[in-house]
Structure 1
Amino acid sequence: MKSGMLTSNEPGLYRPGKWGIRIESLVINRPVENPEETEFGKFLYFETVTLCPIDTRLIDTKLMTGSEIEWLNQYHAEVRRRLEPLTEGAAKAWLIERTEPLVR
């Protein structure tokens, strides 16, 4: 991978013969600022460019770790921060509802 490349990040869980679920986002490879020098060279990180709430209606937070809940809440806060100024009316209400923080 090289800096500037656009790729998809598609974590998922599949139960053979039953069901599957996947969350798909587009990400851009970006260089890590001030990386720690190691024998492995320079590092990249993924900057998420897909800004869409993840549907939490089927999430059982009892099955999530604290860091997983924190990650999802931070992602939703960023989605809301960047998209709320661009929306109004019913779309804005939907965005606010779908980006509410999860609690355990």
Structure 2
Amino acid sequence: MKTTILLFFILFSVTVLGSNKQEKSNISGVVYENVRGYKIPLSLASIQCKGTTIGTFSEKTGDFELDLPEGKYTVTFSFAGYKPVKKELKIKKNKKIYLEVTLEDNTGFAQN
């Protein structure tokens, strides 16, 4: 009897927890910096979704990846010394989005 109750509890838990799982969509891309008119991959740029705790940093190659549930988001790309870029995204479940974002120098000085 105890085994039957335990088995029922485990199956019920798996079913309930599995059904509450939100389907997410993949957002990926590359963050660049503009150097004398050339796009150079920018590592460690911050990628944050406004109003959430969801975020990441770009890799050495400028690549980034986020998984977001369905909804509307403002995603901000930033790095010290560069003007932040905001993108408004409408996420649909199980859809992939690819972005290329270029950050511009914010120092007020012309690049050599």
When the two structures are superposed, what TM-score results if normalisation uses the length of structure 2? 0.22
More helix by share: 1
**Bigger relative contact order (CA 8 A; separation at least 6):** 2
Say which structure is richer in strand. 2
